[in-house]
Structure 1
Amino acid sequence: MNRRMFMKASMAFATVSGMSGLSTLFAQSAWADEGIADGTATRFDFDELKKMAAGLAKKPWGGAPGALPPTLANLTPQAYNEIQYDANHSLWNDVANRDLDVQFFHVGMGFKRRIRMFSVDAKSREAREIHFRPELFNYNNAQVDMHQLEGKTDLGFAGFRAFKKPELARRDIVSFLGASYFRAVDDTYQYGLSARGVAVNTFSNGHEEFPDFTAFWFDTVAPESTTFTVYALLDGPSVTGAYKFTIDCEEKRVVMEIENHLFARTDIKQLGIAPMTSMFSCGTNERRMCNTYHPQIHDSDRLAMWTGSGEWIARPLNNPQKLQFNAYQDNNPRGFGLLQLNHDFKDYQDVIGWYDKRPSLWVEPLGKWGKGAINVMEIPTTGETLDNVVCFWQPEQPIKAGSEYNFHYKLYWSSLPPVRSGLARVDATRSGMGGFPEGWAPGEHFPEVWSRRFAVDFVGGDLKAAAPKGIEPVITVSSGTIKQIEILYVEPLDGYRILFDWYPNSDATTPVDMRLFLRTKDETLSETWLYQYFPPPPDQRKYVDDRQMNPG
């Protein structure tokens, strides 16, 4: 699936039935000319939203969205981008000394979900709906037939984005757009990977679903505050949900505290909590798709996990030749995320995607999540426009129709995760031909037995202090054998490189799970490196010398 295009143009699983069905849950609105929140005042709080979601789960899902007016449905991406919200009508435009503001996305193109928006007075808890009307937007050169929009107060909006001083109305820092997708930036103002409200049947025998946020309620922001609260109603074929987002737009990062209450409409084979979606095309460890001038192309370079037992794990991402799914069992995880730790422009050379500026996303569970697994799915991709990595927490307990589940967690959008161990961390992973002494390139005599060499760099921690005691690499593999283990101090890194060669013991091409950490006799020195290697078929396990030299 082209997940990045899904984010840009959510094509399905949005429900207008949600719109018609929601009319029984909300008070009918009356048109007024006072501000953008023009609906009739109704009482709102999070408890009411939870009741709303629970009631909705007892009703059948209404199906796919209805048609938009043709002038909107047929917009090209270029034309859609011409439609801009008028900053003079932003949500909190009348709040004095505001540090935050919100604007809305127009429906159109693939964004068919008609989302309802409500403004909530934080003191009185009165909510008023914000109806769509053309004067909220500047259509520029989109060539929209305005006659088709006359009287269409039920069009709703496609999503919203938030701005922060000094970039009010110029550069957004939070965006909710498409199904239950949302993103945020750090102080680089560069979007990267995405999060979702929930994932359903991402890797199972069932059809994957993309539930939608169908309505949002915004507490009026306080003057000079960098934090705002938004509530969301989620609706999909198998699940509904009530969400509370407390979003703190800090100086160098965005932190979201999320509380959700999920209500299962049907049995669900695979429920993903705190899901995130990213892109990995090629990096230091995977060069198959790097046939460009870019040394590396990825939004994230690793899955990081802090287990309930206290182990720190770094698992480099792959761009496999066929879809791969891994589940890492845990009990009460302390944190996990997809990280982008390399922020050196020289390693990307990309002046369009700016991958060196892309943020990491770290999940901090609040409370006990119990038993389950951190799942990661990697999909083959040919380039950077395809999001091909999905990660989430899957509870161990079966998800049964009629049941309620709630999860509380924080999301940190920042260049580095908010917590780090004192251990040495994995800096980079590299792989290439093995079977010959390090420092010697194969010459006339090539290795008689095929093998694959791995180089794993560790930096930080107390490695240098531990060196006199003896650094021991502890390496395990699920198949094959390990030989030629070397430990090298690399001065430019001020770290240590662990080299080893992997030799197959069969013709199998099934993935090889590798595990490595460093220790002395009495203490662990590093986080654990996990890797999945895909051996080539037997007929490709040979070195072919295709070098050419012109005779003198």
Structure 2
Amino acid sequence: MNRRMFMKASMAFATVSGMSGVSTLFSQSAWAADGIADGNAMRFDFESLKKNAGALAKQPWGGAPGPLPATLANLTPQAYNDIQYDANHSLWNNIPDRQLDVQFFHVGMGFKRRIRMFSVDAASREAREVHFRPELFNYNDAKVDTKQLEGKNDLGFAGFRAFKKPELARRDIVSFLGASYFRAVDDTYQYGLSARGVAVNTFSNGQEEFPDFTAFWFETPDASATTFVVYALLDGPSLTGAYKFTIECEAERVVMTIENHLFARKDIGQLGIAPMTSMFSCGTNERRMCNTYHPQIHDSDRLAMWTGKGEWIARPLNNPQRLQFNAYEDENPRGFGLLQLDHDFKNYQDVIGWYDKRPSLWVEPVGKWGKGAINLMEIPTTGETLDNVVCFWQPAEPIKAGSEFSFQYKLYWSGLPPVRSGLARVDATRTGIGGFPEGWAPGEHFPDTWCRRFSIDFIGGDLKAAAPKGIEPVITVSAGTIKQVEILYVEPINGYRILFDWYPNSDAITPVEMRLFLRTKEETLSETWLYQYFPPAPDQRKYVDDRQMTPG
């Protein structure tokens, strides 16, 4: 399951005859002069888009995408990347001294969805379509036969990307490409994890679906604006949707306010709201797949949750040997996200992926979401090219065919989340062989009983002030026994390290759920550390000494 490369595109938008308002909303006509928008003027507003999405949900899904011209369908990834949009034909190129601009992606290769693009005058609410034509692109060395593309103004586009001064036309800060996937950057200009418009049956009895954004409408911003608004129509086998994105391109981060209205075509076993997709290969806690000179490899290092009851939770990510799915029940969550909190280059040593620059993504629900669960799926991966972590909110209410529902939330793309508790926070998690004192090495007197040692570092908060009162680690596990608990002040991190050894009480290899937080008698001092540990098989629970003391 390649989630980094497989940003699935699907069929071209199918206009449904007889549907009230749709033919007007999507009518094509002779070109008109309005920058690169060359269609006739038509009325557009969000209410009309919602009505059309609802009407579309009452019709059968259009099915698989139609074929692309051979010269595009057979492109290699390198050839596809050689196709560049001509910045002189950007969407807002006719606005002098603009702060923002938009360019489009070419269809081709695996990006078969033919997406329609519209420019909207914010004052008059008139929209004009931007039709595809080859002169909008520079084909460079892609070896595309542009004769096959002549007259195909219905070819559409694969997606779009947005730019902000001073990097207009050079480095983009927002990208929508493939199905309903999109990404944004912070001030490092380094992309990392992705978000999606919606997730459908990611981990359920049904086959996972990847609905598509099939059309976008861009409100033309003022020249001085650093915020723009784009609307989107979503279409898929089981649901449709109308989306409004208000995208604030701030100096150090991108903030998106999202309003969606979803309409179910069918019963949906698992609906994911505010889904995000990331990669975790190895880190301080999971070294199994780190047979590389890089100390760590990951886009995100933890799932963070701020529950409806106010608890702050840090759950380090894993690269498990077997696919794992966890659901953390909550009611009216205050926030959650996949975070990348370690931004020290020394801990990655990567000059290709630049994992130290990758942003975190934090979801802030707007209004009350009710009961549900934050779902986390971790997929085994052998390397960094596979996105193997999926996270989203799943409403508790079943999704039935014909139902309508809506959610509002904000997405913060930034190095650090926009909110942090005043509690001590988890800095790092490490594991290793246990059963002997720190500073000793296992040898002939190594105990016969196998165990695993865990080390969790907490920094910040009021730990030093609370130390005279006595800091108590509160540890619970779903199986096994905890022994050798220690708490150490570590001067280099100006924080405290909790050490404990976990001993199995059976041969089971079922994942062990671990939970830890710090307190005094009067108060909670830290966020809650959650962890899922995978015990090895019984025949692997032993220390192996592979030293060779004689030549040979």
Contact 2:32 2:40 (C-alpha < 8 Å) held by counterparts? no
1:442 aligns to what? 442
Report how far residue 221 of structure 1 moved. Answer: 1.2
- SS at 2:353's partner residue? coil
TM-score, with length taken from structure 2:
0.98
The question of 1:79 aligning with 2:79 is answered yes
**1:500-548: per-residue Cα shift (whole Å, max 9, x none)?**
0000011000000000000000100000000000000000011111123
- SS at 1:16's partner residue? coil
Contact 2:25 2:44 (C-alpha < 8 Å) held by counterparts? no
How do 1:115-126 and structure 2 match up within 5 A?
115-126=115-126
**1:348-367: per-residue Cα shift (whole Å, max 9, x none)?**
00000000000000000000
2:174 aligns to what? 174
Distance 1:19 1:84 in 2: 29
Report how far residue 18 of structure 1 moved. Answer: 3.2
2:110 aligns to what? 110
Report how far residue 32 of structure 1 moved. Answer: 3.8
Distance 2:277 2:14 in 1: 25
2:264 aligns to what? 264
How do 1:327-406 and structure 2 match up within 5 A?
327-406=327-406
Would the alpha carbon gap of residues 66 and 20 (structure 1) be closer, same or farther in structure 2, given more than 3 Å must change? farther
Contact 2:85 2:138 (C-alpha < 8 Å) held by counterparts? yes
Distance 1:443 1:538 in 2: 21
Contact 2:478 2:512 (C-alpha < 8 Å) held by counterparts? yes
The question of 1:43 aligning with 2:43 is answered yes
Letter in 2 for 1:237: P
Distance 1:366 1:159 in 2: 27
Contact 1:190 1:359 (C-alpha < 8 Å) held by counterparts? yes
Letter in 1 for 2:440: W
Contact 2:116 2:216 (C-alpha < 8 Å) held by counterparts? yes
- SS at 2:315's partner residue? strand
**1:279-337: per-residue Cα shift (whole Å, max 9, x none)?**
00000000000000000000000000000000000000000001000000000000000
Contact 2:24 2:42 (C-alpha < 8 Å) held by counterparts? no
- SS at 1:176's partner residue? strand
Of the structure 1 ranges 15-24 and 506-515, higher mean CA displacement relative to structure 2 is found in: 15-24
Report how far residue 20 of structure 1 moved. Answer: 6.8
The question of 1:201 aligning with 2:197 is answered no
1:54 aligns to what? 54
Contact 1:474 1:517 (C-alpha < 8 Å) held by counterparts? yes
**1:446-502: per-residue Cα shift (whole Å, max 9, x none)?**
121000000000000000000000000000000000000000111111000000000
Distance 2:519 2:33 in 1: 69
- SS at 2:465's partner residue? helix
Report how far residue 550 of structure 1 moved. Answer: 5.3
2:150 aligns to what? 150
The size of the alignment, in residue pairs, is 547
Letter in 1 for 2:311: E
Report how far residue 31 of structure 1 moved. Answer: 2.4
2:498 aligns to what? 498
Distance 2:23 2:78 in 1: 33
Contact 1:113 1:158 (C-alpha < 8 Å) held by counterparts? yes
Q: % of aligned pairs identical?
A: 85
Contact 2:80 2:142 (C-alpha < 8 Å) held by counterparts? yes
Distance 2:457 2:14 in 1: 51
Report how far residue 268 of structure 1 moved. Answer: 0.1
Distance 2:256 2:6 in 1: 23
**1:137-177: per-residue Cα shift (whole Å, max 9, x none)?**
01111111111001000000000000000000000000000
- SS at 2:162's partner residue? strand
Counterpart selection for 1:18 from 14, 17, 20? 14
Distance 1:535 1:268 in 2: 35
How do 1:177-326 and structure 2 match up within 5 A?
177-326=177-326
**Deviant stretches of 4+, over 2 Å:** 17-25, 31-35, 547-551
Distance 1:455 1:414 in 2: 28
Give 5+ residue unaligned stretches, structure 2. none
Would the alpha carbon gap of residues 258 and 34 (structure 1) be closer, same or farther in structure 2, given more than 3 Å must change? closer
Distance 1:354 1:508 in 2: 39
Distance 2:29 2:386 in 1: 41
Letter in 1 for 2:317: L
Distance 1:345 1:17 in 2: 44
Distance 2:205 2:102 in 1: 40
Would the alpha carbon gap of residues 17 and 218 (structure 1) be closer, same or farther in structure 2, given more than 3 Å must change? closer
Contact 1:314 1:426 (C-alpha < 8 Å) held by counterparts? yes
Distance 1:447 1:235 in 2: 61
Report how far residue 17 of structure 1 moved. Answer: 4.7
Report how far residue 38 of structure 1 moved. Answer: 0.6
Contact 1:29 1:129 (C-alpha < 8 Å) held by counterparts? no
- SS at 1:47's partner residue? helix
TM-score, with length taken from structure 1:
0.98
Letter in 2 for 1:84: Q
Would the alpha carbon gap of residues 259 and 364 (structure 1) be closer, same or farther in structure 2, given more than 3 Å must change? same
Give 5+ residue unaligned stretches, structure 1. none
- SS at 1:492's partner residue? helix
Contact 2:35 2:93 (C-alpha < 8 Å) held by counterparts? no
- SS at 2:547's partner residue? coil
Contact 2:13 2:115 (C-alpha < 8 Å) held by counterparts? no
Distance 1:390 1:2 in 2: 12
Letter in 1 for 2:353: G
- SS at 1:135's partner residue? helix
Report how far residue 434 of structure 1 moved. Answer: 0.7
**1:229-272: per-residue Cα shift (whole Å, max 9, x none)?**
00000000001000000000000000000000000000000000
Distance 1:245 1:81 in 2: 27
1:517 aligns to what? 517
Would the alpha carbon gap of residues 445 and 172 (structure 1) be closer, same or farther in structure 2, given more than 3 Å must change? same
Report how far residue 34 of structure 1 moved. Answer: 5.1
Distance 1:302 1:190 in 2: 19
Across the aligned residues of Structure 1 and Structure 2, the Cα RMSD in angstroms comes to: 1.1
How do 1:432-471 and structure 2 match up within 5 A?
432-471=432-471
Contact 2:91 2:102 (C-alpha < 8 Å) held by counterparts? yes
1:488 aligns to what? 488
Distance 2:112 2:26 in 1: 21
Contact 1:228 1:246 (C-alpha < 8 Å) held by counterparts? yes
Contact 2:25 2:43 (C-alpha < 8 Å) held by counterparts? no
Contact 1:17 1:61 (C-alpha < 8 Å) held by counterparts? no
- SS at 1:38's partner residue? coil
2:132 aligns to what? 132
Letter in 2 for 1:389: V
Distance 1:80 1:151 in 2: 21
Contact 1:254 1:414 (C-alpha < 8 Å) held by counterparts? yes
